[in-house]
Amino acid sequence: MASLKKLNLSKVKKQLLNKNIKTGGPLKFNPDASNKIFQLCKTGKKTFLLLSLQNNPVEYQRYLRADHALNSQGVLTPSIIEKNPTHKYLLMEYFPINNAAKYYKKEELKNIFPQAIKTLKLLQQPRKRFSGVPTKPFNNLTRNASKGIETYIEYFDYKIQIGYYLNRLIQKSLKNNLISLNKYKPTLTHGDFFLENFIYYQKDLYLIDHQDLHYNHPFLDIASLIFDARRLYSSQIEDNLIRNYAKKFNLSLIDFRSNVHLVSLARNLRILGNWVNLYRSGKTQYLKKYRKNTWLQILKHVEHLRFWDLRELFEEIYNKTK
């Protein structure tokens, strides 16, 4: 996560002003757990988006590498008009719509979701590995799931009271039930593939916030979309997404349905820990706002997978911390 240090963009603004580009006020893209700085810029009748990565220079190169990889795969991203390695900023194409989250529960989802699956097909098409794009360890899903629920239980131990013993039982069960997640063929993965990280503009879908692009489990991104920790879709929408993805990727529907629940279970357990860590860092809204939805997704997964021991343990924790 980027540093909380306040940025001084005076040199950047002066440099842009010399090019007749005037910078406006900062933009807030919600929800965004990072500390990236966005500002609108204008010259004549054109509007651009300034993305400053001064407070995390490493992300500057990561963003450029990721953007190159995505564009090479045919995935749409906002065009980079100018990059400045000295001041670590990018001047980018600007769309008047923040992200596709505004279309939650609206008709536009019927166009957004098929395009999202098409984007995943482009993202995962076979190709020589991109230099500089990291590969996650094969046990990353299971390890992060274990750590996530452990962090959550530790934080709420004052409510759970027997959290230590529940955690020991959960860790043992996770070790047995998630073991199959350690074997897969890594593919390019966005990592946070959900509405907030799409821009839907003039019927095209653009992928954003992609500096963390990496190689990981092929079902991680579709799991992020279907079983979003921030929101719940209807069972019909979930089923349509599962069926469409299985058809697009020529997968067995029964096997894929179970596998995507398993991957999403691991992901949402990790996210529980993320909400706690964000709360501890001063960003309290995430744990308060999304804790319930994350738990409802987790309970849905263990029910589908028939992990009865985990269902009982998770229900105990959920009921004491909701």
The single residue listed with the structure tokens 């923040």 is 98
Residue 22 has pLDDT above 80, yes or no: no
CB of 144 closer than 8 Å to CB of 272 = no
Residue 200 has pLDDT above 80, yes or no: yes
Q: What is the pLDDT of residues 285-319, one digit of tens each?
A: 999 999 999 999 999 999 999 999 999 999 999 99
Walk me through the domains of the chain, giving residue ranges and CATH numbers.
10-93 (3.30.200), 100-321 (3.90.1200.10)
Q: Which two tokens stand for residue 315?
A: 């229900």
Enumerate residues 6+ apart whose C-beta is below 8 A from 124.
187, 188, 218
The pLDDT assigned to 4 comes to 43
CB of 12 closer than 8 Å to CB of 87 = yes
E strand or H helix that includes residue 141: helix 140-155
Residue 218 has pLDDT above 90, yes or no: yes
The pLDDT assigned to 3 comes to 39
The residue with greater pLDDT, 21 or 71, is 71
How many Cβ atoms are within 10 Å of 297's Cβ, its own excluded? 24
Helix, strand, coil content of the chain in percent (nearest 5): 50, 15, 35
CB of 271 closer than 8 Å to CB of 223 = no
Give the whole-number percent of the chain exceeding pLDDT 70: 93
Q: What is the pLDDT of residues 232-253, one digit of tens each?
A: 999 999 999 999 999 999 999 9
The pLDDT assigned to 35 comes to 60
For the chain, the residue count is 322
Q: Output the average pLDDT for the chain.
A: 91
CA angle 213, 144, 206 (to 5 degrees): 25
**Separation of alpha carbons 282 and 259, rounded Å:** 35
The single residue listed with the structure tokens 């299985």 is 246
The letter for the amino acid at 207 is: L
The pLDDT assigned to 27 comes to 62
How many Cβ atoms are within 10 Å of 125's Cβ, its own excluded? 12
Band of residue 34 on the pLDDT scale cut at 50, 70, 90: low
**Separation of alpha carbons 316 and 305, rounded Å:** 18
CB of 174 closer than 8 Å to CB of 150 = no
**First vs last C-alpha separation in the chain:** 27
Band of residue 162 on the pLDDT scale cut at 50, 70, 90: confident
**Separation of alpha carbons 191 and 173, rounded Å:** 25
128 CA to centre of own chain: 24
**Separation of alpha carbons 99 and 28, rounded Å:** 12
Q: DSSP readout, 219-260? A: THHHHHHHT-SS----HHHHHHHHHHHHHHTT--HHHHHHHH
**Separation of alpha carbons 13 and 50, rounded Å:** 10
Average pLDDT over residues 123-135: 94
3-state secondary structure (DSSP) of residue 146: helix
Average pLDDT over residues 27-48: 71
Q: Model pTM?
A: 0.92
The pLDDT assigned to 7 comes to 55
Residue 202 has pLDDT above 80, yes or no: yes
Residue 15 has pLDDT above 90, yes or no: no
